[in-house]
Amino acid sequence: MRLALFQPDMPSNAGTMMRLCACLGVGMDIVEPCGFPLDDARLRRAAMDYIDHLDFVRYASWESFEPQIKPRRLVLLTTKAAVDYAEFSFLSNDVVMVGRESAGVPDFVHKRADARLVIPIKSPMRSLNVAISAAIALSEARRQMLDGGEE
């Protein structure tokens, strides 16, 4: 399983998700451009020493990332979905994607997604932080893999 960040805006969220992936043993992809300079020093500061335990790949653009998805499923976490993440059956090779903190993902990513999942929240709240959303979805996926004997 992999977590993909689509053009993240905030280095602190990217660092949090790097630590999350390292702790859960989930690979991570960042699809650039980012809303902040993504250099080695900033990555190390955001992810601390967890980065040394992370399967991490940077992609310069959506066009360079998109071919890497196949034959896996692209599972998009979005507030614009109707399928509850807890009702979805994750697979061990899924690519779970979160969008930009400021704007989510563009329509072409929505159209490419094999599944679009929502984490239900109380009205009138709009959304969760992307790092929290990633943690919720990856935890459920991991639970399913452990319950199903996969990992």
Q: Which two tokens stand for residue 119?
A: 């984490």
CATH for 80: 3.40.1280.10
pTM: 0.92
CA–CA distance, 118 with 140 (Å, rounded to integer): 13
CA–CA distance, 111 with 36 (Å, rounded to integer): 26
Domain, as residue range, for 102: 2-147
Between the CA of residue 135 and those of 63, 65, 126, what are the distances in Å? 26, 22, 18
Total of domains in the chain: 1
- pLDDT at residue number 52: 84
Task: Tokens 């090779």: give the residue.
Answer: 93
- DSSP, collapsed to helix, strand or coil, labels residue 117 as strand
Q: What does the pLDDT average to over 110-118?
A: 97
CA–CA distance, 3 with 96 (Å, rounded to integer): 5
Each residue's pLDDT tens digit, 38-89: 776 666 666 677 778 899 999 999 999 999 998 999 999 999 999 999 999 9
Residue 26 has pLDDT above 70, yes or no: yes
**Are residues 13 and 39 in contact, defined by beta-carbon separation less than 8 angstroms?**
no
Task: Tokens 């935890």: give the residue.
Answer: 139
SS3 letters across 85-149: HHHCCCCCCCEEEECECCCECCHHHHHHCCEEEECCCCCCCCCCCHHHHHHHHHHHHHHHHHHCC
Q: Which two tokens stand for residue 61?
A: 């653009």
Of 76, 81, 128, give the one whose Cα is nearest residue 105.
Answer: 76
- pLDDT at residue number 38: 74
Q: Which two tokens stand for residue 140?
A: 């459920």
Residue 142 has pLDDT above 90, yes or no: yes
- pLDDT at residue number 36: 81
